[in-house]
Amino acid sequence: MQSSFPNTNQFTWLPKTLTNLTYQKIQQRESFLSFVYKAISRPLTNMFVPKTNPTTQFISTRILLEIEQRINQLGKIDWQDSQQGIYPVDLLFDNPWQNFFRYYPDVWLDLGYLRNLQVETLFDGVADSMRRRILAPLKRGLSAFSSIPPQQIKVLDVGCGMGQTLKFLRAALPEAALFGVDLSTGNLRQAKQVLLENPGELPQLTPANAEDLPYPDNYFHGTSSVFLFHELPAVSRKRVIEECFRVTKPGGVLTICDSMQLFDFPELEVLMKKYFPAMFHESYHRDYIQDNLVEHLEQAGFEKIETENHFFSKYWSARKPELVSSK
């Protein structure tokens, strides 16, 4: 079946205002598709696997408005970052539902793709916008190496999964040498397929545990990690941060993106503590939302730690000092 979605590049000739409006419309349609998916899948799940969904909780109008405002703000920042040249505007028109319609019904056999779509629907069609929020702090951090030719810049994505963040990194840093590690060889296979469909040199993909990265000390100018930390037990989170510190060059940057934490949006405590872990079988999420990653970053040796929130996600960016004190 032909895709009903526009191809990447299709809108770049439009005047800016029109492109922005088109982007907003597509975002609204993605949110709508996510809503339809949830509306259909929840009664079906209840019918076949009763009690899988936790009891519905009341969310006040004020919180719903706050969520809506956060989602709109996320769209605005995504647009602004593209206009500031942090990444090409084409990325905004890339959407995970595209292949659903193009390859229907075969998509049902592709578990990796379905898992991705699940993440996308969970976050109301804006998971990619949230992933892209690491690009601005990462590029700011990499500007410390502006005297180095762009081809010599090395960036590692830890827990790269099926390559979504690497795809954005490739678009934002077309000449850099990119690397990705993940525990799952299946996910890496998917990543290779995704990345081969995109322009630019294929990143080096390596199966490895992020707690024991297979790279020398001080190797990368930048390190990123997206939606990995909530999957890790507390002790591994600390260990992964220490490993990121070890492989990052002095003066280099680490950016982390993951789901928001309890103190970022306390009104959503029930959603974070019960709904998310139960629906998505994320056993370490409850511990993650109460963990202090700033403390782990400081203990590992990072400095200039900054945090930000966008919609339902949270970001940490940190710098490895030029002169690392020996511990």
Ligand X SMILES: C[S@@+](CC[C@H](N)C(=O)[O-])C[C@H]1O[C@@H](n2cnc3c(N)ncnc32)[C@H](O)[C@@H]1O
Cβ at position 180, least distance to ligand X in Å: 9
Q: Name the residue whose CB lies closest to ligand X.
A: 161
Give least dist CB 109 to ligand X, A.
20
CB of 165 to ligand X, least distance (A): 5
Which of 3/209 has CB closer to ligand X? 209
Q: Judged by CB, which is closer to ligand X: 191, or 318?
A: 191
Nearer to ligand X, 71 or 117 (CB): 117
Minimum distance from residue 16 beta carbon to ligand X (Å): 29
Give 177-201 as a DSSP string.
Answer: EEEEEES-HHHHHHHHHHHHTSSSP
**Sign of the alpha-carbon torsion through 89, 90, 91, 94:** positive
* 220-226 and 313-319 strand pairing: unpaired
Q: Using CA atoms, how far apart are residues 112 and 273, in angstroms rounded to an integer?
A: 26
Backbone angles phi, psi at 252, to 5 degrees: -85, 175
d(CA 175, CA 160): 19
What stretch of H or E contains 250?
A: strand 248-259
**Which residue, 184 or 299, has its beta carbon nearer to ligand X?**
184
Q: Is the CB of 246 or the CB of 251 nearer to ligand X?
A: 246
Contacts with 318 (C-beta within 8 Å, 6 or more apart), sequence order:
253, 254, 297, 302, 303, 304, 305, 306
Residue 20 or residue 78: which is nearer to ligand X going by CB?
78
* Least CB distance to ligand X at residue 27 (A): 18
The two most distant CA atoms of the chain are separated, in Å, by 61
In the complex, minimum distance from the CB of residue 293 to ligand X, in angstroms, rounded to a whole number: 16
Of 97, 78, 98, 96, the closest CA to residue 88 belongs to 78
* Residue (71 or 240) nearer to ligand X, CB: 240
Where do contacts with ligand X occur on this chain (CB under 6 A)?
131, 159-161, 164-165, 181-184, 187, 209-211, 226-228, 231
For the record, the structure tokens of 139 come out as 């590029």
Distance CA 206, CA 264 (A): 34
Q: Compute the least distance from the CB of residue 65 to ligand X, in Å.
A: 28
- Pick the closest to residue 160 from 129, 135, 181, 177 (CA basis): 181
